[in-house]
Structure 1
Amino acid sequence: MKTLIPFLLLAIVFSCAETPKNETTHPETEATEVSLQDYHSFENKDDQFTGGIKLIPIETPKGTFNVWTKRIGNNPKMKVLLLHGGPGMTHEIYESFDGYFPQEGIEYIYYDQLGSHYSDQPKDLSLWDLDRFVEEVEQVRVALDLDKDNFYLFGQSWGGILGMQYALKYQDNLKGLIISNMVSSIPEYQKYSDEVLAPQLPKDVLDEIMTYEEKEDYSNPRYLELIVNNYYVKHVIRMPVDEWPNSINRGFNHLNPDVYVTMQGPSEFGIKGDATLKNWDVQDRLKEIKVPTLTIGAQYDTMDPKHMEWMASEVQNGRYLHCPNGSHLSQYDDQEHFFPGLIDFIKDVDAGEMN
């Protein structure tokens, strides 16, 4: 089974291609803007000693464990908790945010979910359950003093599943929700993978990949080579493998295969076998989400961008951001559209322009 390649890799229509970078201003938010000195200051903060790092105890049916978080910046009205993909990946895939959020005064929190590299990694597979992860996020929120006046939840890929599920139970605690590169139905994801993405591969490549899939020989080095060089560079991160950012490579190396395979399964062409997320589908419940919501899709994503656009029209207060040059990791391969659109959404919600 392939243990180092994750799923991460698993209405108002708004095209980010139409928004020039740094052009939009938000005079209404001047009262909540913070100086650079205040933004970067740790004075009178209980995490000054650790440089923003907090280990948060999480109560589970199997005992108490610690999860790792790290706060970047201070802003009383804009705090973004980042939910990584995988499942079992790490916060490292979001290190590109360091290049864009600080100068906008947006506070953000790195977070390794339970089982991920910087947090505790218990071996009980029963912990890798969607509903338990939802309760974990809620405990993290409480520990970090996040609330409806400042709490933005960003989830990408598996993190998007977790973000949607959290919002369906706890949206009254949210100020804004961002669902990045994730559709609202695993069966729809599987259909898109089978009927749209797989046939785009050269026939000889697809045939060879399928021989390994049929034998469930997912750990075969040749299978991994074919997937990375023919699928990932087109639909996960559109860069030559030798140019992948160090943060992405570290994230892959730190992936927890127990979490990943239990929930996502071993295949790179959808979710198969007895993976616990195989039948997850909340398409019919999106209309319950009333909090301002941004969905982010990308032209070359493993997820259908049309479905992402549709999701923005299903929630009660949605906006869609399209990344025309991006794939599953648009925060790296389409930064010129991803970050301006994301920042505009956060500031528009703060200014009351999404109400």
Structure 2
Amino acid sequence: MNAYKKIFLVVLGMLCATACGDKQAEKESVSLDAYLKDTSTGIKMGGIKVIEINTPKGKFKVWTKRIGNNPRIKLLLLNGGPGATHEYFECMESFLPQEGIEFIYYDQLGTGNSDNPNDPTFWDLGRYVEEVEQVRQALDLDQSNFYLLGHSWGGILASQYALKYQQHLKGLIISNMMMSAIDYDKYADEVLAKQMDPVVLAKIREIEKNKDFENPQYMELLMPNFYAKHILRLDPDKWPEPVNRSFSKINQSLYVTMQGPSEFGLSGKLEKWDIKKELPKLAVPTLSIGARYDTMDPEHMKWIASQIKNGTYLYCPNGSHMSMYDDQDIYMKGLIKFLKDTDAADQNRK
């Protein structure tokens, strides 16, 4: 009788453990029905929300679009350029929905589907930080759910936003962007330039010296010798359509004002940007993403994670600046893991 009693207790314990495990899994996951449910009121617009923002020169509208619904993981995407559009992030649709991760496209003022005031005084880092904060408020994002991913120029914007408003963030992702324009210039000059054919480099330098950036030879030289090696490691005629579509719409006024016309380093408003000494102020969980062939030094990207109080580093060994495409498996798995691990840690604290 005692033997049967022991067996019964063991089986009962296993059933309880399974039930508890199922409840925990249910707590951690988002059902397909919940993820696909459109919780907006009024006329449904496929997750699109146009947000009115205040600026020193009046009100303008910026475009956002939500994919999915997850009350604990909402990822706002800041694209690069400066001046490109959200469209090159469309690759996220092949990875994040199946993981139940909500993400939000957003065209910054002057880009894509948002208003373009055609006024260079708007192209200012501080003003863009305040724009992101207004977008956050309009989308009801807060510390319980708000993840911010900034790629390239978006990484500058995301990190600068975090330094001012990290109390609203649940997690931060700095993708393919060093925390110093000065170090970026140095890496471009001392590492990337020296990897180029000296004859080709001399021709590029001559064009830049003469400020002849409209010369078609400039892009003819850069595309195979720089872009296809350090921006996106594919033959240019095989670049993904979302990338080409986004880059074809780049706001040149915004790009040149902030970045400068040269592809080798910064010469615009961001020329002296450097927040390396401020990184220890960041306490929000942060993922830094670097890639072997990137225009950004992967060792610097690794260093970023060591300076932030709760930093993690993701290395893409086959990737370049657009490593969400040319090292896609590692990039996406690493991003998803960071989002879920951060959420799980937050849940365990409650």
Q: Does 1:163 align with 2:158?
A: yes
Q: Does 1:331 align with 2:331?
A: no
Q: Partner of 1:287 in structure 2? A: 280
1:278 aligned residue (259, 271, 284): 271
Q: Partner of 1:250 in structure 2? A: 245
Partner SS, residue 54 of structure 2: strand
1:31 aligned residue (27, 30, 34): 27
Equivalent residues in 2 for 1:79-118, closer than 5 Å: 79-118=74-113
Deviation track 1:51-104 (CA, whole Å, cap 9, x = no partner) reads: 100110010001100000000000000000000001111000100000000000
Q: TM-score, normalised by structure 1?
A: 0.90
Count, aligned residues = 327
Q: Partner of 1:236 in structure 2? A: 231
Partner SS, residue 322 of structure 1: strand
The whole-number CA distance in structure 1 between the counterparts of 2:263 and 2:170 is 34
Equivalent residues in 2 for 1:5-44, closer than 5 Å: 30-42=26-38, 44=39
Q: Partner of 1:318 in structure 2? A: 311
Structure 2 unaligned blocks of 5 or more = 1-22
Deviation at 1:195, TM superposition (A): 0.2
Deviation track 1:83-126 (CA, whole Å, cap 9, x = no partner) reads: 00011110001000000000000000000000002100001211
Equivalent AA in structure 2 for residue 291 of structure 1: V
Bigger helix share: 2
1:120 aligned residue (112, 115, 124): 115
The whole-number CA distance in structure 2 between the counterparts of 1:137 and 1:328 is 23
Deviation track 1:299-346 (CA, whole Å, cap 9, x = no partner) reads: 000000000000000000000000000000011000110000000000
Deviation at 1:46, TM superposition (A): 2.8
Structure 1 segments (4+ residues) deviating >3 Å: 27-30
Partner SS, residue 351 of structure 1: helix
Q: Partner of 2:127 in structure 1? A: 132
Structure 1 unaligned blocks of 5 or more = 1-26
Deviation track 1:9-50 (CA, whole Å, cap 9, x = no partner) reads: xxxxxxxxxxxxxxxxxx9664142111211121x4237621
- Structure possessing the higher relative contact order (Cα contacts under 8 Å, 6 or more residues apart): 1
1:184 aligned residue (170, 179, 182): 179
Contact 1:32 1:76 in 2 (8 A): no
Select the structure of larger CA radius of gyration.
2
Deviation track 1:153-210 (CA, whole Å, cap 9, x = no partner) reads: 0000000000000000000000000000000000000000000001100111111111
Deviation track 1:206-253 (CA, whole Å, cap 9, x = no partner) reads: 111111011111111001110111100000000001100111111111
Partner SS, residue 295 of structure 1: strand
Q: TM-score, normalised by structure 2?
A: 0.91
Distance change in 2, residues 1:56/1:88 (3 Å): same
Q: Partner of 1:55 in structure 2? A: 50
Contact 1:72 1:109 in 2 (8 A): yes
Contact 2:291 2:317 in 1 (8 A): yes
Partner SS, residue 122 of structure 1: coil
The whole-number CA distance in structure 1 between the counterparts of 2:25 and 2:81 is 35
Identical-residue share of aligned pairs (%): 57
